[in-house]
Structure 1
Amino acid sequence: MDELGDLIADFENQDIKTDQMTFDQIDEMKKRAGSYESLFSRKAMKYRSMGLSDKNLSEDDYRQLIQEEYTFLKRPVFIVNDQIFVGNSKKVIESLKNHLS
């Protein structure tokens, strides 16, 4: 986030820890990203503690888990017009920077 600095100064920020995402928001992100799985973070501590790594999760499972537990959403998520940028990998951040410049 620091790396993006002024490029994101005018973005709306939603603290999903205190302002839980709705299914409508999750569905809108999925529409842009292509799948719920692409929004899902397997790095979340609860992923292993809930035994999810041993299960074959469906798209409906990913959707439900993201809505119930904010840590399952890969973050940050930036929605710019019709494009979505999910996660903090170098590739995603560079792509976002290029899009905003």
Structure 2
Amino acid sequence: MPRIIYYLGTCSTCERILKEIPNLKSFSMREIKGDPITAKELDDMKKLAGSYEALFSRIALKYRALGLGKMTLTEKDYRKYILEEYTFLKRPVMIIPGSSPGQASQIFIGNAPKVTAAMVEAAGRK
């Protein structure tokens, strides 16, 4: 699995975070609007993140428009919405594979300051 960052090209927050990432050229860059994530990719992310909910963005405009805040969503629902609408993926998502056999890959999700700091630190390691 390559080092990869999933981001939205029209998102100014993603742009700001990407400017902070060292060794950015060592990552495959995936713009999720033009090249949506696949079910397999999402399932792989879920394995690393622990749940689809951890990958789901509640600040997407469609979250309110569809009234999802008034519903009780299941993991199946989170998966479905992320695959149907790219804005439901919390972003950016950075995946760094384990550096040796048996070492787990790392996933960083979203734009919280602690997550961004962890992304920068992890990206700086070879």
Same-fold call, TM > 0.5?
yes
User: Number of residues paired by the alignment?
Assistant: 100
Any stretches of 5+ residues in structure 2 without a counterpart? 1-17, 98-104
CA RMSD of aligned residues (A): 1.0
Amino acid at match of 1:85: F
- Residue 100 of structure 1 deviates from its aligned partner by 2.6
Which residue matches 1:31? 47
Greater shift, 11-20 or 72-81, is seen at: 11-20
Distance in 1 between residues matched to 2:115 and 2:91, nearest whole Å: 11
Moved over 2 A (4+): none
Residue matched to 1:71 = 87
Structure having the higher strand fraction is 2
Show the counterpart of 2:23: 7
The separation in 1 between residues aligned to 2:71 and 2:33, in whole angstroms, is 26
Identity of aligned residues (%): 49
The letter of the residue matching 1:66 is: I
How high is the TM-score relative to the length of structure 1?
A: 0.94
Aligned to 1:55: 71
Highest RCO, 1 vs 2 (Cα 8 Å, sep ≥ 6)? 2
Cα shift at 1:7: 2.5
Inter-partner Cα distance in structure 1 for 2:122 and 2:94: 11
Length-normalised TM-score, structure 2: 0.76
